[in-house]
Structure 1
């Protein structure tokens, strides 16, 4: 414990020093005496002074992350003035060359931040004709979305980012002549590409790439061959220089964590980040409504809900219908056709005023300018009057920008899948509604899901 003489020494010794010297002195006193919390009687509270330093907070400004001037200019042009804390932390770690496992709430911009980090690598360095970054996406839509972001930031063209498709003959000829900076694909397409890696690249791909990004890591590992693909691409042998490994997801489970720890056990500078103490976190701006189809079929109840909610929200109504699997999406087609609606390419078109009215019909036919969200997002931007449909598995890693309402139909999903369904709305701090339609036989499963996510199990009344 400090005596009165000791406290007076600290008080008077600080007067003639500069701000920098005072800072150093306070740190040395706190470290040597280990009694920072007991110095509350002094004029300068050492404990509070150290904890109030700005270096302890995440810097989320565009200029604080130290991206290249071209990327900063692009961000300002598109009206992006600040990152989310998750984005700023991830970009900083990528620029430092650290391996990162980030578990963050849906809608915080994980994929966008990883794409910016990949762009910085070849825009800042002298890398010219070498594939240095490889991204594993959970599905084709997510792969095209990441390529779209990189192309928008660094310039369009397959010389910057290329998505590997099922037609390998095209890629064999193209990659032999010129290698893109970033190669993106799914588990199945990249596995096929690895079978011809020596023919295409002249060596193993793992010797070329410096950074391996796994988007929706838990989903990728659950797919057939996903775990083996990551192990084939990540350099971790004794005679190799370890590459940078990035695991991203909103629902990283224990198995995914163990695999990440196993791969990076020889590295000393590894980050494991999460924005919540809970394993799965729902968006803060989402409101949840439960509807039980006691008397109506689920399809008819869904159509009535769509009509009613659109009448209340007007042109701000941008719904996304999520089914359990693709077969249910096809089953919905006949029900919607009977009501003047048609499903094409994961979207429901509005061919007449029978559903949304003349005003919405005029909006859908009007030419809409390309919005900022369309240019810089990793997914699909919804315009007023648009209605899209997808299934639980296909929406992983895809951002449907502007979704005001999510309608879940066809069964109660798992806790992990429900997080991603709810995460299609209320993104980046916005508000959104999640409407869940279930049958009486699914009430028990729905009640358990509500308990897991601490949601009130209250059936919404519908007129």
Structure 2
């Protein structure tokens, strides 16, 4: 990995933007992607959330932008409006340091399309970011000179595929310059995405950044059982025990997000809500309020789990485990960013065992916790009963039979007798094993002495 951003010989305006951001050195994906983009090569970048992916493509693209060319040069597609707004804000931060005027447009659904088309009669954007559907609408109007653009970024490609937007992206790419440099970024590369990649990418650089930890090492990943507890009350307790800088609570459905928001507001908390059922202008306003730290608590669906980088999220609570394990990583990835510590708390019920086991099989490590006397404390591993049963399986038939004979209504002292019997049996087994080891050593010694006589 490069030790410094100075190794890339960026223009001074880019270095000024990096200094303002507080970026000291490139992340793993930035170190691999930036030189590739600088050399004009197409790339497929596979990297986990929170890896610094957005600036991995923005920095070299803006460094090579030609302010004198007033036609579209870069097109960036995102699967969600929220992600488009986030990237747009990142772009504005870079543009702010440019001595030349750079025209940037954000094309997403729910905005004034007619006004956007009228503006195209006056000037062309040099950089376009937005959702595939709206960008394609603008392109079909014939007013956007997209054929001049030769750099296309497809961000969150797997999510773009999942939401059915890949056809629109295909139509956008087909109308761009023939010497297209395509940059595809995705957390995963599903098989259904490969035909599209093969169509446009002849010899791409494949960049797969493995992560040492599925969950960022700066995140404390807690697991708390909801058995016998009021989940709403439990979430309220967890939110108000400490004083989180910014807390995100993830719900699986819009209805549950509405329910949680209402409950928490009734408890006196100032809560923001984000989900796909809200009007676009309302979501945009709420996002700005969250970024301005008008809210300390946010309830959201998975719409907000990917692509939204809200600075300072110190606590994430999973009201429920998501149906897709990939979303779990994206949820938890909202905290513990930029070297700052964070806490992720996942609430689970007994029937969630299979989902938890699936996450653990992928390398996610949980710390079992519970609330005692108003504090979160360590507790037993939920699998301890399975482990205890495993110990019984190792016992011999006579001892196991004694345990099985135990009835629901037992006489006083019966449990102690069983434990005592197990201990005696274990001691006997150890003595037998020890005697066998001594005999084996004696035989070995005798054979050795006979060999050298």
Structure-2 separation of matches of 1:158 and 1:75: 19
In the other structure, the counterpart of 2:305 is 395
392 and 282 in structure 1: CA distance in 2 versus 1, 3 angstrom threshold: same
Structure-2 separation of matches of 1:429 and 1:447: 28
Is residue 160 of structure 2 the alignment partner of residue 220 of structure 1?
A: yes
Is residue 378 of structure 2 the alignment partner of residue 439 of structure 1?
A: no
Structure-1 separation of matches of 2:108 and 2:324: 30
Q: Secondary structure of 1:247's match?
A: strand
380 and 274 in structure 1: CA distance in 2 versus 1, 3 angstrom threshold: farther
Is residue 183 of structure 2 the alignment partner of residue 242 of structure 1?
A: no
382 and 104 in structure 1: CA distance in 2 versus 1, 3 angstrom threshold: farther
Structure-2 separation of matches of 1:382 and 1:415: 31
Q: Secondary structure of 2:303's match?
A: coil
In the other structure, the counterpart of 1:116 is 59
In the other structure, the counterpart of 1:59 is 2
Instruction: Tell whether the 8 Å contact from 1:235 to 1:242 is kept in structure 2 after alignment.
Output: no
Instruction: Tell whether the 8 Å contact from 1:108 to 1:428 is kept in structure 2 after alignment.
Output: no
- CA distances 1:370-412 after superposition (whole Å, capped 9, x unpaired): xxxxxxxx99657597222221123311112211211011343
Instruction: Tell whether the 8 Å contact from 1:379 to 1:401 is kept in structure 2 after alignment.
Output: no
Is residue 16 of structure 2 the alignment partner of residue 88 of structure 1?
A: no
How far is 1:102 from its partner?
0.9
In the other structure, the counterpart of 1:335 is 263
Instruction: Tell whether the 8 Å contact from 1:212 to 1:243 is kept in structure 2 after alignment.
Output: yes
Instruction: Tell whether the 8 Å contact from 1:318 to 1:384 is kept in structure 2 after alignment.
Output: no
Alignment of 1:32-181 (within 5 A): 58-122=1-65, 125=66, 127-155=68-96, 160-166=103-109, 167-181=112-126
Instruction: Tell whether the 8 Å contact from 2:222 to 2:368 is kept in structure 1 after alignment.
Output: yes
Instruction: Tell whether the 8 Å contact from 2:274 to 2:299 is kept in structure 1 after alignment.
Output: yes
Instruction: Tell whether the 8 Å contact from 1:60 to 1:84 is kept in structure 2 after alignment.
Output: no
Structure-1 separation of matches of 2:113 and 2:295: 38
Structure-2 separation of matches of 1:454 and 1:63: 35
In the other structure, the counterpart of 2:206 is 272
110 and 255 in structure 1: CA distance in 2 versus 1, 3 angstrom threshold: same
Structure-2 separation of matches of 1:175 and 1:252: 35
How far is 1:173 from its partner?
0.4
Greater relative contact order (Cα < 8 A, sep 6+):
1
The aligned length equals 356
In the other structure, the counterpart of 1:34 is none
How far is 1:76 from its partner?
2.7
How far is 1:219 from its partner?
0.5
95 and 318 in structure 1: CA distance in 2 versus 1, 3 angstrom threshold: same
Structure-1 separation of matches of 2:85 and 2:322: 29
RMSD (Å), alpha carbons: 2.9
Q: Secondary structure of 1:288's match?
A: strand
Structure-2 separation of matches of 1:450 and 1:382: 36
Q: Secondary structure of 1:435's match?
A: strand
Structure 2: stretches of 5+ with no match in the other structure = 276-287, 373-453
Alignment of 1:374-413 (within 5 A): 381=291, 386-413=296-323
Q: Secondary structure of 1:427's match?
A: coil
Is residue 224 of structure 2 the alignment partner of residue 283 of structure 1?
A: no
424 and 160 in structure 1: CA distance in 2 versus 1, 3 angstrom threshold: same
In the other structure, the counterpart of 2:429 is none
In the other structure, the counterpart of 1:233 is 172
Structure-1 separation of matches of 2:152 and 2:313: 30
437 and 404 in structure 1: CA distance in 2 versus 1, 3 angstrom threshold: same
